[in-house]
Each structure stands twice: as structure tokens, then as C-alpha cells.
Amino acid sequence: MNSFASDNAAGAHPAVLEALAAANEGYAEPYGADALTRRAADRVRAALDADAEVFFTWGGTAANILGLAAVTKPWQGVICAEQAHIAVDECGGPERFIGCKLLTVPTRDGRLTPDGVRSRIKGVGVEHHVQPAVVSLTQATEYGTVYRPEQVGELADLAHGNGLLVHMDGARLANAAASLGVPLSEFTWRAGVDVLSFGGTKNGLLSAEAVVFFEGVRERALDFPYIRKQGMGLASKMRFVAAQFDAVLAGGLWLRNADHANRMAKRLAAGVQGTAGLLVTQPVEANAVFAVLPRRAIRALQENYYFYVWDEAADEVRWMTTFATTEAEVDAFADDVRAAVAGGR
């Protein structure tokens, strides 16, 4: 059954599996004290063009929560979009592990706006209220949209001007980079991001994410090894996590994977747009297509494809493409979508 459900429904890029095999040589110091882990961290720094602190862990939820834990006290709040993964899809993990509150902001397209952020900076200095401490952006957003560097910069200026830090959930950071066509640094640290989840799993890795602390919060990174261990996120055979990043960062595969996924989403959008009865509801800037179509058509498609209905009430679906999605898969699916909407299936 073909899948447009999630980046996670795809497997791993063959180069990643080869890297695991190559890493499986002899003994290595466990817990990340090995040479391969050091090399992979160097590659992350090079990709970001930053002398940052870099740590690896298995999953994206852990990368977000543990990274935030390093910069948030329990009585503080994290401002984020209502749709943010940390707010909706982590089963309350930030609240349980950090103790903090998420201060959510409704958004139209997944992107926070300065006004939205400003609306949650209140009660400052009043002990009854959670104190806003971090603004968390998802890049690319849960709606497949992408913050432009200057949008990140404007939000970061607002945050910093109010004494808040900036966290970026980059589970799909590569898709954003491919979409923007600019170096990673331009929409991360140069735009004011302090802490970054650099996602790998959604981009063709088996299971690997990096947490990055930039210049201004380097001191907080000193705590991170303990936070990661206490937070159950320290891999004993770390070389196998690091090897995955090493594989895709070495020759630019991370960007090619993401660029391919993005192009498949654009191709899908192009293939279905204009169909009477179907509306693409969000700009297709990364590897997601959101669309409203007749419920009957959704049901018919779900017999042969695996994907999520994003908003049951609105008959809105989410179709994700991945590094592994082929043009043939996209074209066949677009055909089927058009037919289903037309009622001809």
C-alpha cells in the first residue's frame, strides 16, 4: 500500500544503512565518546557554519523536549503555534519532563507572527503566572510552510528584546533549507535561533536527531549531557546514531533528499490543483500538501493509500512526500485523487 501518510512511513536511505555497516568495526567508546560521533558533530557544525555545541539522540520528540529542558525552568512558558508538534503530538512530554506550560498561539498557516507572540508575553514579573521564556518555531511548519530568514529574524528580535530565547524544532529543517535555497545559518543562528533540533529521521535516517546550542546559550549546553541521560535520550552505542548523520552530511545527501521530497510535493500539488471540488489549503513550500476534498473521495482513496485526515470536520487531508517517493507514485496518486474527486472510481 502506497503511503503519503508521513515522512516516517519511508524507510532509510541506502547510504545510511551502508554507513551503519561501515561503523560496525571493532570496539568503540560508548555513549558518544568515540571518534565517529566527534566527526559527525563536526559535520553538523560545518553544515551550520557555526562553532556550536552538538549532541545526538534517537528521536525528534526527545530532541525537542531535552533541548527545551536545557533553557527552560519549570515555572516558565514556551510560546509556540497551536499546531506545534511540542503542543499537540508529544503527549504532554514537555509539561511532564520540564514542568513548563506551552503558551499556544492560533496561526493560519503554522507560522507564528510577531503579534501572535506578543499576545502571549504577559504577566511578566507576576508570580501567579507562568513566565514566558522561549519562543519555539517549527521549520518547516506542521503545515508544510517555511519561515523566511527575515521572518525568523523578526520573531527572534522580538523574543530577545523581551528576554526570551528562540528554539527551532527542525524535524524538517532540511526541507526548509531546500525550499529556501539559502545556507542553514541564514535562518538559524544568524537569524537569532539559540537552540535547534536538527532532524534526521524524517529525511531518510533510521532514527537520529541532533540538538544544537548556538553561541549565546553555550553555557546551558553544559547541562545537556545530564539532561539527555536523565531524559532517557543517551544512546549507548552512539556511533550508530552518529553514523547516520555522518552519511548524509558528508556529501550533501541531506539536502538532495529534502529537495527531492519537496519537489514531489510540488508535483503532487500541481497534479491535483485545479480539480473541481478539491482545494489545496496551504502554500506548498516543503514536503506536505494539505487539501480539502469530498469526504466520499477521501474514503475511496484510503482504500488504496495510507494518509491522515488532518481535520475531520473540514474534510482536510495531509499528504506527505519523502526522499523515497517516486515520480511514478506521485503521478499515479494524483490520477487517483482526480478520479476520486470526480467520483469516477
d(CA 4, CA 7) in angstroms, rounded, equals 8
Least spacing, CB of residue 335 vs its own copies, in Å = 19
**Which residue's CB is nearer to its own copies, number 130 or number 339?**
130
Least spacing, CB of residue 306 vs its own copies, in Å = 7
Least spacing, CB of residue 286 vs its own copies, in Å = 17
Least spacing, CB of residue 126 vs its own copies, in Å = 9
Least spacing, CB of residue 345 vs its own copies, in Å = 21
- Per-residue exposure over 23-40, b if at least 16 CB sit within 10 Å of its own CB, e if not: beeeebeeebebebbebb
**Which residue's CB is nearer to its own copies, number 115 or number 274?**
115
**Which residue's CB is nearer to its own copies, number 185 or number 302?**
302
**Which residue's CB is nearer to its own copies, number 93 or number 216?**
93
- Per-residue exposure over 214-241, b if at least 16 CB sit within 10 Å of its own CB, e if not: beebeebbeebeebbeebebbbeebbbb
Least spacing, CB of residue 117 vs its own copies, in Å = 16
d(CA 131, CA 115) in angstroms, rounded, equals 18
Least spacing, CB of residue 51 vs its own copies, in Å = 22
**Which residue's CB is nearer to its own copies, number 108 or number 129?**
129
**Which residue's CB is nearer to its own copies, number 227 or number 268?**
227
**Which residue's CB is nearer to its own copies, number 215 or number 226?**
226
**Which residue's CB is nearer to its own copies, number 236 or number 276?**
236
Least spacing, CB of residue 189 vs its own copies, in Å = 25
